[in-house]
Structure 1
Amino acid sequence: MSISAILIGLFFALNIGASGAAASMGIAYGSGVVKRRMALLLCAFAVFLGAYFGGGEVVKTLGNGIIPSETFTIAISIIVLFSAALSLFLANILGIPLSTSEVVVGSIIGAGLVYQTIFLEKIAWIILFWFLTPFLAFLLAIIGQLVLKVKPFQGLLRTQVAVKILPLLLIVTGMFEAFSAGMNNVANAVGPLVGAGVMSIESGILLGGLFVAFGALFLGAKVLETNGKRITSIRLEDGCLISGTGASIVTIASIYGIPVPLTQITTSSIIGIGFVKEGLSVLKKQVVMQLFTVWIVSPLISMVLSYTLIQILIEHNFYPIVVVIGVLISVFGVVFLQTRKDAEMALTSNVIERKGEN
C-alpha cells in the first residue's frame, strides 16, 4: 500500500509540474524572449531548486500542521491525494480552474472532519493568506504600474539599455516564479505522504521536486503554448512586474509554511495592471468572477470527496452520502449557472457590438 501511495503522490507531482510551467515561464515564452524547449528546461531547473531548498516548511504544514500526523494513515493519505486529483480531473472536464494548494488543503480538512482532529488556528491562518495574498498582489501591481507610468521611467524604458535588459529580467523573474512554485507546490504531492510516515521530509522534497520538474519538462509544452499565446500582448515590463510580484509573495508565504494559490496571485496581478489601464470596468470581467468561484469551489469539492470516501471506505458509514451528494449538486449547480450567465452576457455583448458596427 505504501508503494501505491507514493505512486499516486508522484503522479500528482507530475501534473503539478505540467500545469505550473505556463504560470512561471509563459510570459517569457509568449513574448518571444525564450524558445519553448529552453523555457521548459529553465522552469524545470528552477522548480526543482525551489522544492529542494525551500519546500520543507510547507511539507511540514500539510503533513502535520492541519491535522495531527497520527491521523494520517497510509490509507487516508491515499484518499486525500486521490480526492485532490479527482477534484482537479472533474474541474478540468467542467472547465473550472482549481488551485492545487486549495484542493489538497480541502482534502486534508475532509479527513480532519471525520476524526475531529483539525488545528483550527492553522486553518484560519491559511484561509487568511488565501484572501490576503491575491489582494496584496493586486495592490502591488497597481503601485508598480503607476510607477512605470511616471515620465522618467517611461523615458528609461525606451533606451537601448532597457531594450537589452528587460528580456533578461523577464527570464530571471520567470525563473524566480518557478522557484517559488517549487517551494510551495511540491508539498501538495508529498505532504500527506510525509504525514503518514511513508517518506521523510528530505526524501519527499527530493522525489517530489524531481517529479514536479519532470512534469514541467515533459508535460508542460501544451499548457505553455496555450498560455504563451494568451499573453503575447503583455509588455515586457508588465511581465516582469507580474512574475516578480507573484514570486515574492509566494516565496514569503512558503518560508512561513503557508500553502497559497499561485494562479490566483498571478491573476490578481494581471487584474491590478488592467485596473490602472481600464479602471473599474476590469473588475466586472468574467475572470474576476472566476477568481471568486475558484476560491470557494477548490477546497469545498475536495473536502467533500475526502470526507465521503473516508466515511465509506474506512469507517463503513454510508449515512453522510445523501448530504454530500446534495452539497456537490449545489456547488456544481452554482458554477453551472454562473458559467451560463457569463456565456449569455458575452453573447449579448457580441450582439450589441455587431449592431454598433452596422
Structure 2
Amino acid sequence: METFLTAGLVLSGLFFGWTIGSHYTGATMGMAYGAGIIKNPMTALALIATFVLLGATFASSHVVETIGSGIIPARFMTPLGGMVMMLTAAFVTAANTYMKWPVSTSQLACFSVVGAGLGMGAPVNWSSTVILLFVTWIGTPLVSALLGFVLTRLIDLAMRQHSGLKTRMLRWALLAGCCYAAYTLGANNTGNAVGVFYGLKLATPMKAGFAGGLVMALGALTWGRPILEKMGKGIAELDLNMGVGAKLAQSLTAHTAAICGYPTSMNQALIGGLAGAGRARGRNTLNRRALTEIVFSWFFTPILAGAASFLLYILASRALGVR
C-alpha cells in the first residue's frame, strides 16, 4: 500500500507542476506576446519552457525546503498526506486555468498542505512559517507596485529623447524581462509541486526542482496558450516603458521571495507592478473586470483548497485505513 501511495504522490506532484506551468504563461510572457514582440504563441511558450526549467533546476531549492518541511515538520509527512495535498492543489489550479482565472498556486499549495496537515493531526508551524508566508503574500503586490512606479519613472527619464535605437532596445529589454519572469517562475513555484518529494526524502532539492521544471515546461507547451492570450491582451493597456517597469518589478519581487524561501504569487506581483507603472503616469491601466475576477479567485480558491484537502484526507485515510 505504501508503494502505491508513494507512486500516487509522485504522479500528483508532477500533475500539479504541469498545471502550474500551464497556468502562469500569461504572467511571464504575456506582455511580450501582447505587445507583438513575439508574434507566434508557440515561440512564447517555448521560451517560457526553457527558462522555467533553468530556474527550477538551479534556483528553487529554498522554496522546495519550505514546502517540504517548513509548514509541517517533515517527520509528519506521509505518502497519503502528500498525495492529497498535491492532488487538491492540482485540480483547483486546473479548474482556474480552464476558467482562465489567474490564481496564486503558492497560496493553493500552502493551504493544501495546511488542510491535509490538520487532517493528519500534524503540528502546523504557524508562527515560524505560515505567518511569514502571509506577510510575503501581502507584501508582494505592495513592493511590486512601488518598484513598478520607481522603475517606470526612471525609464521615462532615460527615454525622454526618443530614437529608433532606444525603442528597439526597450523592446529587447521587455523580452528579456519576460524571460527573467519565466526563470523566476521556476525558482519560485516549482517547490509548490515537488517540495513534498523532499519532505519524504524521495529526492534532493535540486533533483526535485529539475523534475518539477520538466513538467512545468511541458504544461506551458501543451496547455499554456489560453492564459497567455488572456493576460497578454486582456489585463492592461500600457506602453513599452510601463511594460518594462512592471515586468522588472514583478520578477525582482518574486525572485527575492524565492531566495528567502517563501513562495509567492507571480500574478499578484504582476498586478502590483502594473498598478505601480500606471500610477507613475497618473493612470489606471488595469482592466477592472479582469482584476475583479483575479481578486475573487485569490481569496476563494485558497480557502477552497484548504477545506478540500482536509476533507479529502479524512475520507481517504478512513477508506484506506492508513495515515
**Following TM superposition, by how much is the alpha carbon of 1:82 offset from its aligned partner in structure 2, in angstroms?**
1.4
Other-structure match for 1:298? 301
Q: In the alignment, which of 175, 179, 182 is matched to residue 175 of structure 1?
A: 179
1:55 and 2:60 matched = yes
Equivalent residues in 2 for 1:231-242, closer than 5 Å: 233-242=237-246
Other-structure match for 2:160? 155
Say whether the 8 Å CA contact 1:27–1:232 is kept in structure 2. no
RMSD: 2.4
Other-structure match for 2:205? 201
**CA 232–300 in structure 1, closer or farther in 2 if over 3 Å, else same:** closer
User: What do residues 36-69 of structure 1 show as CA deviations (whole Å, max 9, x unaligned)?
Assistant: 2322222111111000000111000000000011
**Following TM superposition, by how much is the alpha carbon of 1:292 offset from its aligned partner in structure 2, in angstroms?**
4.2
**Following TM superposition, by how much is the alpha carbon of 1:138 offset from its aligned partner in structure 2, in angstroms?**
1.2
Which amino acid counterpart does residue 116 of structure 2 have in structure 1?
A: A
Matched residue of 1:138: which SS? helix
Matched residue of 2:238: which SS? coil
Say whether the 8 Å CA contact 2:23–2:97 is kept in structure 1. no
Other-structure match for 1:334? none
Other-structure match for 1:99? 104
Which amino acid counterpart does residue 74 of structure 1 have in structure 2?
A: P
**Following TM superposition, by how much is the alpha carbon of 1:277 offset from its aligned partner in structure 2, in angstroms?**
3.8
Other-structure match for 2:151? 144
Q: In the alignment, which of 115, 131, 137 is matched to residue 110 of structure 1?
A: 115
Say whether the 8 Å CA contact 2:112–2:309 is kept in structure 1. yes
Say whether the 8 Å CA contact 2:25–2:224 is kept in structure 1. yes
Other-structure match for 1:19? 23
Unaligned runs of 5+ in 2: none
Other-structure match for 1:313? 316
Other-structure match for 2:87? 82
Partners of 2:97 and 2:294 in 1: how far apart? 15
Q: In the alignment, which of 39, 44, 47 is matched to residue 44 of structure 2?
A: 39
Which amino acid counterpart does residue 131 of structure 1 have in structure 2?
A: I
Which amino acid counterpart does residue 50 of structure 1 have in structure 2?
A: G
Other-structure match for 1:267? 271
Which amino acid counterpart does residue 229 of structure 1 have in structure 2?
A: K
Say whether the 8 Å CA contact 2:236–2:285 is kept in structure 1. no
Unaligned runs of 5+ in 1: 317-358
Say whether the 8 Å CA contact 1:137–1:269 is kept in structure 2. yes
Say whether the 8 Å CA contact 2:144–2:270 is kept in structure 1. yes
Question: Which TM-score applies when normalising by structure 1?
Answer: 0.80
Question: Which TM-score applies when normalising by structure 2?
Answer: 0.88
Say whether the 8 Å CA contact 2:22–2:97 is kept in structure 1. no
**CA 275–291 in structure 1, closer or farther in 2 if over 3 Å, else same:** farther
Other-structure match for 2:130? 123
**CA 276–257 in structure 1, closer or farther in 2 if over 3 Å, else same:** same
**Following TM superposition, by how much is the alpha carbon of 1:276 offset from its aligned partner in structure 2, in angstroms?**
3.8
Say whether the 8 Å CA contact 1:58–1:259 is kept in structure 2. yes
More displaced stretch, 164-173 vs 89-98: 89-98
Number of residue-to-residue matches in the alignment: 312
Other-structure match for 1:135? 142
Partners of 1:238 and 1:217 in 2: how far apart? 28
Partners of 1:23 and 1:96 in 2: how far apart? 12
1:69 and 2:74 matched = yes
**Following TM superposition, by how much is the alpha carbon of 1:188 offset from its aligned partner in structure 2, in angstroms?**
1.4
**CA 130–143 in structure 1, closer or farther in 2 if over 3 Å, else same:** same
Say whether the 8 Å CA contact 2:250–2:273 is kept in structure 1. yes
